[in-house]
Amino acid sequence: MRIATITNWAYGLTLLLTFGSGAAFLLAVDADKDERAAVEERSAYLRIAEDIDVIIERLTDQARLYAMRGDPAHKLAWQRDRDGANAIDRMTVRLRALPLSPAETEALREADRDLANVETLERAAIAAVDRGDRAAATGLLYGDRYLALDGDVEQSLNRFKAAMRARTAGELTAARETADRWDDVARALLGITAALFLAVLYFILSRRVARPLTHMSNVVTRLAERDFEADLPDDQHQDEIGEVTQALRLFRRSTIERERLERERDEDRRIKDLIARMMHRMQGCDVEAELADVVSCYAPQIFPDLAGHIFVYDHARGRLSTIGQWQEPTLSLPDFAPSFCWGLRRGHPHRSNARGEDICCQHIGDIDGQDCLCVPLMAQGGTVGMLYFEAREEGGGRYGERSIYLDLMSENIGLALANIQLRATLGALATRDPLTGLSNRRHLDEVFNLERALAESQGTPLGCLMIDIDHFKRFNDEFGHDAGDLVMQHVAQVLLSHARERDLACRFGGEEFTMLLPGRDATAAAERAEDIRQTIRKVALAYRGRPLHPVTVSIGVAAYPAQSDGASLLSVADSALLEAKAAGRDRVVIAGETPPDQPSLFRAAG
């Protein structure tokens, strides 16, 4: 028999007792309402009586203050309370509207008569003050008659309060006794009902419910502790306990599935957080090597089971070369042509494995159970590189379910790589002279400030050459500006060929050039200048089959700290250049020394 059938019989037996106890409770509630009504009635009487006392006292105070001070404000206040609000009359009407005993009604009428007499005296006193007779007004308001009337009003109100308290106290006592009596009846019926219910259901609760529920509780506790090995036996009883058992078994299966979904969600959150952190780091990268370090750091954290490379496309060589790797990949070549990769050919990710699901890329060696993926890095409609992954364990790299993360990584890495390359291109354009390939004046100022600070802090020399092409204007006038450009490019190539580590050759402006020589004093700088002058002079140039005039240069030499302080080094070298030009050109002059007579000679410091 089902538990519900047994309990229905028990409910039927206790139903009448329940209705009886409910009816008793309703009667007790009605008695409680009568008790509350008696309390509220007494409170209403007392509140109204107190309001009358307050109003009478306020009227008396305003009248007396007006009699003593003669301030019209007190008269206006009295009139507002008496004539405008008519408060006492309203209070009296409210009291008469309530159910009162004869004694209460008589006391209220006496108070009303006495109030009228008091009001008459107050009006007379106010009128006396208005006539200027404040003494008469004071006599009226402080006289024996006024005090007697005021006392009669207070006595009448006290009698009213006493009669009201006596009547309402009896009503309150009767209502309370009735409520308590019905409460006792209701409690007794409820006690009988509870005893009968427990007596009937004892066998069901102890034998058919408690024992299975104890076992269920243990299983639920183990499930709450994520011990999914716990399971309930298949209950053969066709009752509610059996249904609950089946429900718990379904709950266990759904909990196991939910745990799986939560693990996937946590893994998704972890990967997205790592990708976001990687993107933030990539935004601060200035060169490709830094970007490769960031990718090599975060890629194994995002996909611990995948090794890989990051390749960059070298437009000058037309090949892809690796700039970073992680977890020791072994299959892909570190340098190959784009045609070796089907992913780069198609512009889409390409998967290569030993199962023959697709064509293997040529840059991948012999695949023995590994699963490889090539993801092109695209930016602004072009290929800037490639991400390469290979599974470290058998079973594949689960690329299909990771496609959203791979696309997100490749898109952001491609954009970061394109931005770094664009910044490098823009930086070269901003610091290089497009005609000669030398550094421009802006770059010279930046490097000069750094080298000057370094020389001053370390006490090392800093040499400077100011170079000017002699009679440059005649090349432009006789052969055209293209010929002049050829001459400047020739001088620039010579300067680059004579530049050593940390040396900086730049175009200062027009046909004038500058070379900074860190660590070189005036003697060493002058030797370098003479080598440059001789090299430029030895080369014969021709433009469009026409030989050009011999190219010569004048060079001014200065060095810190022998010839100049750090800040004035360029200007001092420029002054030496002017001396070389004034002395006949095609020569090297050290600042502060006498220019040599012959162009093939120079004087070194010391």
Work out the burial of residue 224: count CB atoms within 10 Å of its CB; fewer than 13 is exposed, 13-18 middle, 19 or more buried: exposed
Q: What are phi and psi of 98, to 5 degrees?
A: -85, 155
Distance of CA 459 to the CA centre of its chain: 50
Most confident of 102-111, 433-442, 501-510, 551-560: 551-560
CATH topology of domain 432-590: Alpha-Beta Plaits (3.30.70)
Of 123-127, 393-397, 487-491, which gets the smallest average pLDDT? 393-397
Task: For the beta carbon of residue 373, count every other beta carbon within 10 angstroms.
Answer: 23
344 pLDDT exceeds 70? yes
Two structure tokens written together for 38: 């008696």
DSSP 149: H
Average pLDDT over residues 342-364: 87
The top-level CATH class assigned to 272-428 is alpha beta
Average pLDDT over residues 87-94: 56
Please tell me the predicted confidence (pLDDT) of residue 236.
Answer: 59
Average pLDDT over residues 13-38: 72
pTM over 0.75: no
Where are the chain's structural domains?
3-196, 272-428, 432-590
Please tell me the predicted confidence (pLDDT) of residue 604.
Answer: 35
The residues near 181 (Cβ < 8 Å, ≥ 6 apart) are 31
**Structure confidence at residue 205 as a pLDDT band (50, 70, 90):** low
Average pLDDT over residues 424-431: 76
Work out the percent of the chain whose per-residue pLDDT is above 90.
Answer: 34
Mean pLDDT of the chain: 81
pLDDT digits (tens, 9 = 90+) for 356-383: 778 889 999 887 777 899 999 988 778 8
CB 374 within 8 A of CB 342: yes
65 pLDDT exceeds 60? yes
Higher pLDDT: 236 or 390? It is 390
Q: What is the DSSP string of 494-507?
A: HHHHT--TT-EEEE
Question: For the chain, what is the total number of helices (H) and then of strands (E)?
Answer: 16, 13
Most confident of 42-56, 371-385, 387-401: 371-385
Pick the CATH number of 3-196 from 2.40.50.100, 3.40.1400.10, 2.40.37.10, 1.20.120.1730: 1.20.120.1730
Angle of helix 3-69 relative to helix 134-142, nearest 10 degrees, comes to: 140
Higher pLDDT: 596 or 269? It is 269
Adjacent-strand bridge partners of 310? 324, 387
Average pLDDT over residues 123-130: 79
pLDDT digits (tens, 9 = 90+) for 163-187: 777 777 777 777 777 777 777 887 7
pLDDT digits (tens, 9 = 90+) for 234-287: 655 666 666 677 777 777 778 778 888 888 888 889 999 999 999 999 988 889
Q: Say how many residues make up the chain.
A: 606
